[in-house]
Every structure is written in structure tokens, then in C-alpha cells.
Structure 1
Amino acid sequence: MRLISWNVQWGRNAAGGVDLARTLAEARRLADFDVLCLQEITRGFAALPGHPGDDQFAELAAALPDFTIVEAIGADLAPLGPLGPGVQRRQFGNALATRWPVGRVTRHALPWPADPVAPSMQRVALEAELQAPGGALRVLTTHLEFYSVTQRLAQVDALRRLQLEAVDHAAHPAKAETTEGPFTLTARPVSAIVCGDFNSSFGSEAYRRMLEPLAGSPAFIDAWTTLHPGVTPPPTAGVYDTEQWSSGPLTCDFVFITEDLRDRLRSCEIDGATRASDHQPVLLELD
């Protein structure tokens, strides 16, 4: 299983040019991925720097015809112009593409406690249950708040609660009401991968909290540090785009896996060469 997690900033490279097709070509060059988890995909946000296309989720579907594309919108805003039927809304969120069968998909709105001193937006975690060759597992991709520590910590706590909820569903599943309706079997895989842009530096309070024990569930471990013990991971943001990251590079993109997947962990690397985004991609491989 090969997974790439990448904040692609709507296909904007380190020089400021936007071309989502170019970004996807770079992802294919990096790995023959089975799962591609992307953050900062847009619809209706043509006014952003570089002017992304009207519907990048549709662009993904067209570029990856052999993959299932699922999306989750965090910020869902009115258009800048007049409101009216058929007027495109401005949407900003995450996407997951996979060549494996997709079961239940859940879109979790993350907590957004008031923080009057920090600009912020609604954030989301996209969860997909995948029928992977090594067994079913859940993959979640997310993008936590940048400016507010209060909100980031609340969002980390929510991700941890979601894992406990899944474990409870696995232990106490409810039967389906019918085979045709939406009330399906509630059993869920315990094993999970949670990846994305956590906007939390390596070793920060939010990072440490993500790794704390979970009562009744396998804890999360950092896939990169598990395979590189005692080593500080390289930066994942601001390596080449020094204009947006004027305060210097930051390590804030992670792939966390539940501890029961430890023995299947084969590699986890941060690509430090590509300039296709202001972030560097994280590549994971599991048996």
C-alpha cells in the first residue's frame, strides 16, 4: 500500500504558479500511489493567488479516471458577487483519491471554538473506509487551523475521539435495518491512518497530544519517527516558498497510524526535492 499525503495549496507551486495537473503529475512521479490524500483543494475560489480553476474536485476526477475521488468541504462560503440560483459557492477542503474499493465515507466537521484574536475557518476531517489488500482500514485526511492554538488543540482532541468512537462501533456494531437503506451495519475498522497538514510543529503540544495513549484503543504513532528513531524530521513547509514562510521552514505535515499497523510499516519519507507546493509531500508504504 502506497499513500501520499500532501498539502498542494490548490496546485500552487513554490514560485506561485497554479497548475493542478502539474501537481498530480508530480505525485505520480513520486510514487505509484494507491491512496492520494490532498489538502487545500478548491471550488469557486478563482480569486485566490494564481487563480485556480472553477472546480478542482472535478479536475481530480478527470485526471484520475481509475480512482474513486471523495471530497470534504471545510469552508463553504457565499460567492463574492450576487447570490442567486446556480451561482457557484466558494468551497475549500480536502480530497482523497484511491484505486481501492471505498466503503463508508464520513465527513467530520472539526471543532471551531471562538478565538477572537485569530483569523480562522471551519475545518474538516475526511474519513473513508478502504478495502485494502491487507484488510479494511480507515484513512482520514485533514487540515487543522493555522492561526489558533486553541482551535488546533480542540481539533486534535476531536480526531482522538473519532478513533475511540470507531473502536466502540467495532466492539458494539448495530445490524443493518435493510440491505437497501442508509441504516447499514455500523461496524467500523479499528485500524486507521490519519494524515495531513496539522499546522502544528514537530514536538508541539498538539503534536504530543495526538500521540498520547487512548483508553481501549491502539494509540497513534508517528510513522516517520517510528522508522527514524531519535531523528528530527525534515521541514515540510516553507522549504522553497520563503515569501509565504518568511519566519522559516516548519515541520507540520504528518502521517499518524494506529499502533496495530506498526508491523506493516515499511517506509515513510518526506520528499524534500519537489517545488510543486509550499509543502512537501509525505510518502507512506505499508505491507
Structure 2
Amino acid sequence: MQILTWNTQWCCGMDGMVSVERIVRHALEMGEAAGGLDVLCLQEIAVNYPALQGSPGDQLAELRALLPGWAVFMGASVDEFTAQGRQRFGNVIATRMPVLQLQHHLLPMPADADMRCMQRMCSVVTVSDAALGLVRIMTTHLEYFSGIQRMAQAQALRALQMQACALADVPPRPASDGSPYQTKPHTRHAVLCGDFNFEPHEAEYAQLSAPWDGTSDGAKPGRWLNSWSVLHPDKQQPPTFRLLDRTWGPAPGACDFLWVSDSLQSHVRDWRVDSSTQASDHQPVLLGLG
């Protein structure tokens, strides 16, 4: 399974040109070089934001047109009706794999007085892989400006995985009655990717990666693992932000991650970053699982 994550900055490149087609083409080419892309996770996708640089239109519709045969899902963390009409902004998961379930989780947004911020969320698509079985693909984009909110969001993402693992270890009563209570696809296998807006030396990274103990009801211990560190435990992850544009800081840094559940640790095969593309202000990262 090949999974690519990319903060696209509403598909606005360093040249100021907005092009959904350029993002999709580059992602597919990067995936093809690794054997074929199966899942594409994009952050900062816009629908009807003419005030943004390049005046992005309906980027969700463009993605669906550019990815025929793929299932394309948007988790709009911002979904509002203004003088411009309906405006949406958020994350997309696109996949050519069989899909069993779609979930959207709003992340915490504690009050932080006079702080520039927006609502954040995590979208989850459960897919079926011939080799790995059920895998939850999760993508998110955490708050940039508010450290209070970013920490709360990191804690929530850890809690989401703890809950999912507990449901897989100690599943609810099965049902096949065709009602909303019918049995759901629970699995410990998960990949959490996106732009986390924190770096490996920061407290939010430590919070998200902290292991958890088993519980009295039979749920097992677990933790999130940075897939880069699974393959390269003694090396610093290559930077994914501020390589070419220092608007947001004086030096390059790594804030785009592909986390894997501990159940997938032995399946991590490959990790690649394209450090040269200028199709966004972030770099795309590709994870191979086998």
C-alpha cells in the first residue's frame, strides 16, 4: 500500500499559480515511481475562496474529475455560508482501494483569547488491503497559531487511536440486522498523516507518541509510531516545510508526518519525500506498507 500526504496550500505553488492538476499529476508520478499510489491525503483544499491567492474555485470537484475511478472524500473543517455563498476548507482522502467506512472527527478548539485560529478535524476512511486487511487511513491538519489548541488536538488524536484499538480488542455486540447498529469494521491497523504544525523536539510530538497501557476490560497497550523513525531510528526526519520559503520561520523543519499504529510497525517498507517540488510551500511525503 502506497500512501502520499501533502499540505497543498490550496494547490498554490511557489510561483503563485493555483493548479489542482499539477498537484494530482505530481502525486501520481511520485506514487508510480514507488509501484503505484493507493491513497492520496491532501490538506488545505478549498471550495469557493476567491479572496485566497490564486482565487481557488471548487477544488473538490476538480479532484474528482482528475481521479476517475477513485473514491474522493472531503472533511471540511470549515463549512460556512457567507456573502460568497457556501465556502469549505479542509482535508481530502482519495483512494482506489475498497472503502468500508467514512468518519469525520472535529478536533478540540479551546478558547485562546485574541488568537488567530480555525476549526480543525480528522477524517478517517477504513479501507481493505489484500495483504494487510482492514486499515484506517486518517488525515488531519492541526492549528498553526494556537499552541493551546494544537496540544489539545494532539491529545485528541492519541485518544481517537486508543478508542479505536479498544473497540478492535473488545468489540461491541455483533449485529447483522441491517440497522445502524450493524457490525462495524474495527481494526488496530491505522495510518495518521498530515501537517501537524509541530516538530519532533516539541511537546505536542511527545504527547501524540506517548504509549498507553492496557485496560481492565481487555484492551491492549499501544502507541503511535513515526514511520520515518521506524526505518531510521537514529536519524532526524528530513524537513518538509520552509525549504524554499522562509516566510514562516528562519530554517527548514519537519512537521508533515505519517504515523503508523504499533500493529503496522513490521509492515513499514519505504519512506520518501520530494524535497525539490515547488507546487506547494510543503513537500509531499510517501509511505510504503507491505
TM over 0.5: yes
Alpha carbons of structure 1 residues 245 and 259: separation in structure 2 relative to 1, 3 Å: same
Give the aligned partner of residue 85 of structure 1.
Answer: none
Q: Do the aligned residues in 1 keep the contact of 2:100 with 2:185 (CA within 8 Å)?
A: no
> TM-score normalized by structure 2?
0.92
- The residue type equivalent to 1:183 in the other structure is Y
Whole-angstrom CA distance in 2 between matches of 1:25 and 1:255? 21
Give the aligned partner of residue 82 of structure 2.
Answer: 79
Q: Do the aligned residues in 2 keep the contact of 1:174 with 1:187 (CA within 8 Å)?
A: no
Give the aligned partner of residue 45 of structure 2.
Answer: 41
Note the residue ranges of structure 1 that are not aligned, 5 or more in a row: 82-87
1:58-82 per-residue CA deviation (whole Å, 9 max, x = no partner) reads: 111110012111111101222234x
Whole-angstrom CA distance in 2 between matches of 1:7 and 1:58? 18
Give the aligned partner of residue 274 of structure 1.
Answer: 277
TM-superposed CA distance for 1:187, in Å, is: 4.6
- The residue type equivalent to 1:253 in the other structure is D
Determine which of 117, 122, 131 is the counterpart of 2:119.
122
- The residue type equivalent to 1:136 in the other structure is L
What is the correspondence of 1:1-287 to structure 2 with a 5 Å cutoff?
A: 1-31=1-31, 32-53=36-57, 55-81=58-84, 88-133=85-130, 134-170=132-168, 171-176=170-175, 178-179=177-178, 181-216=179-214, 217-242=221-246, 244-287=247-290
Give the aligned partner of residue 217 of structure 2.
Answer: none
- The residue type equivalent to 2:86 in the other structure is R
Note the residue ranges of structure 2 that are not aligned, 5 or more in a row: 215-220
Whole-angstrom CA distance in 2 between matches of 1:23 and 1:186? 34
Alpha carbons of structure 1 residues 111 and 176: separation in structure 2 relative to 1, 3 Å: same
Q: Please, what is the CA RMSD of the aligned residues?
A: 1.4
Q: Do the aligned residues in 2 keep the contact of 1:199 with 1:253 (CA within 8 Å)?
A: yes
TM-superposed CA distance for 1:169, in Å, is: 1.7
**Count, aligned residues:** 278
Which stretch has the larger CA shift, 148-157 or 185-194? Answer: 185-194
1:73-131 per-residue CA deviation (whole Å, 9 max, x = no partner) reads: 101222234xxxxxx31111100011101111100000000011421000010001111
Matched residue SS, 1:9: coil
Whole-angstrom CA distance in 1 between matches of 2:125 and 2:185? 14
- The residue type equivalent to 1:30 in the other structure is M
